[in-house]
Amino acid sequence: MSAYLDHAATTPMLPVAVRALSEQLARPGNPSSLHASGRAARRVVEEARERLAAALGARPSEVLWTSGGTEADNLAVKGLFWARRTQDPRRRRLLVSAVEHHAVLDPAFWMAEHAGAELVLLPVDADGVLELDALRAELEEHGDAAAVVSVMWANNEVGALQPLDEVVALAHRYGVPVHADAVQALGQVPVDFGASGLDALTLSGHKLGGPGGTGALLARRGLELTPVQHGGGQERGVRSGTLDAALLGAFAVAVDAGVAARPQESVRLAALRDELVAGVRRADPTAVLRGPRDGARRLPANAHFTFPGCEGDSLLYLLDSAGVEASTGSACQAGVPRPSHVLLAMGVAEDDARGALRFSLGHASTSDDVAALLAALPGVLARAREAGLVGSSGRRSTPEVV
């Protein structure tokens, strides 16, 4: 059986979410229909909305269902920008951190190319944490032209927690709404939408034991959002589309369970992470842990390394052949032969950035998974480095995987 160390990409569904999904799958009814079956489906959707809101310090009316984190991020970036520009044509600057997930970065670049946005990439330090002085300077000079700020709660690759309290305080001083992608943070660190002061927050179901194809954008009451897609006018008129009662019910159950278990689970995962980090360092003293060294400043389930002299893809394939599943970074960029934009923004040299591996833990992780990695890693590193040396002579560029 494989050791699964890629929970940041997706994590197995929680049994309680599987049961909730199974109970609803065979029941008919469109939540927008007015007959009895439709009303029953609508009841499931609204109870899920109330459950998710209660778990996250939000009001039910602030929960907008989406098909996942990518759609929620697009709705936040595009919808907020267009609404703000309509209210005040001067507000054309779109401020996002340089280490955002591509679900934020790509729509931001698209807005710059097609919608007249002036994109500002906010720098981060060597740990992947936003440089607050850069945000402060940008707002002091162009605050009256800023449309929206988007800074993730926690980085999906190196696990760095971002200073959202300070970001919100700075942006609101200039009347600028703030969006945060909390896809990785939910279930690992405390996430309270009301207490955060954020204007919009992105969630995804399959990252914390819910079903794929589910997500939400929490948007404070009164926040203007221009729809990205049009149709039946569901979800406050900003996200049209038929809602899947079974999926959303299971999503809310998973969020509720994950939030309830977080205080104990985050401690357990942090201990496993520290065990993994110490073991990797013993196996390869040259390996560099990326992201904050202080465990309290990074996600408890995240360990991201670069291995000098290795290609991340080679390490990934060799580990996979040894029964250990990890990743080189975001699964959304899998197969793209270029170094991580996150590492490059942190100042990591391109050659070093190519040797990256992310190990991420979840509710199903055990010490046996960590032990399997540590048993396989020395041989994998040796083969990967040998392959790299041979590849540099032009005879072979990737290791043979058996």
3-state secondary structure the chain: CCEECECCCCCCCCHHHHHHHHHHHCCCCCCCCCCHHHHHHHHHHHHHHHHHHHHCCCCHHHEEEECCHHHHHHHHHHHHHHHHHHHCCCCCEEEEECCCCHHHHHHHHHHHHHCCCEEEEECECCCCCECHHHHHHHHHHHHHHEEEEECCCECCCCCEECCHHHHHHHHHHCCCCEEEECCCCECCECCCHHHHCCCEEEEECCCCCCCCCCEEEEECCCCCCCCCCCCCCCCCCCCCCCCCHHHHHHHHHHHHHHHHHHHHHHHHHHHHHHHHHHHHHHHCCCCEEECCCCHHHECCCEEEEECCCCCHHHHHHHHHHCCEECECCCHHHCCCCCCCHHHHHCCCCHHHHCCEEEEECCCCCCHHHHHHHHHHHHHHHHHHHHHHHHHHCCCCCCCCCC
Evaluate whether 162 touches 154 at the Cβ level (below 8 Å): yes
How far apart (Å, rounded) are the C-alpha atoms in residues 294 and 4?
25
How far apart (Å, rounded) are the C-alpha atoms in residues 95 and 108?
9
Domain limits, the chain:
3-9+262-392, 15-257
Secondary-structure class of domain 15-257 per CATH: alpha beta
How far apart (Å, rounded) are the C-alpha atoms in residues 147 and 373?
45
Is the pLDDT at 271 greater than 50? The verdict is yes
Q: What's the pLDDT score for residue 254?
A: 98
In Å, how far are 85, 170, 309, 357 from 146, measured between CA atoms? 9, 12, 43, 36
313: closest CA among 394, 379, 388, 370? 388
Is the pLDDT at 397 greater than 90? The verdict is no
Q: What angle do CA 336, 338, 344 make, to 5 degrees?
A: 135
How far apart (Å, rounded) are the C-alpha atoms in residues 365 and 344?
30
Catalytic (active site) residue 332:
yes
Tokens at residue 233, please? 């006018």
Evaluate whether 309 touches 315 at the Cβ level (below 8 Å): no
Winning range, highest mean pLDDT, from 320-334, 359-373, 384-398: 359-373
Average pLDDT over residues 154-170: 98
Tokens at residue 228, please? 């990205």
How far apart (Å, rounded) are the C-alpha atoms in residues 354 and 338?
7
Tokens at residue 124, please? 């981060």
- pLDDT band at residue 338 under the 50/70/90 scheme: confident
- Cα–chain center distance at 56: 17
Model confidence pLDDT, tens digit, residues 66-109: 999 999 999 999 999 999 999 999 999 999 999 999 999 999 99
Tokens at residue 379, please? 């041989």
Model confidence pLDDT, tens digit, residues 183-234: 999 999 999 999 999 999 999 999 999 999 999 999 999 999 999 999 999 9
Is the pLDDT at 395 greater than 90? The verdict is no
Catalytic residue (choose from 332, 344, 375, 390): 332
93-97 and 146-150: which strand pairing?
parallel
How far apart (Å, rounded) are the C-alpha atoms in residues 115 and 174?
23
Is the pLDDT at 149 greater than 70? The verdict is yes
- pLDDT band at residue 337 under the 50/70/90 scheme: low
- pLDDT band at residue 402 under the 50/70/90 scheme: very low
Secondary-structure class of domain 3-9+262-392 per CATH: alpha beta
- Which of 226-243 are b and which e, b meaning 16 or more Cβ less than 10 Å from the residue's Cβ? ebbeeeeebbeebbebeb
Q: What's the pLDDT score for residue 367?
A: 97
φ, ψ of residue 389 to 5 degrees: the values are -65, -45
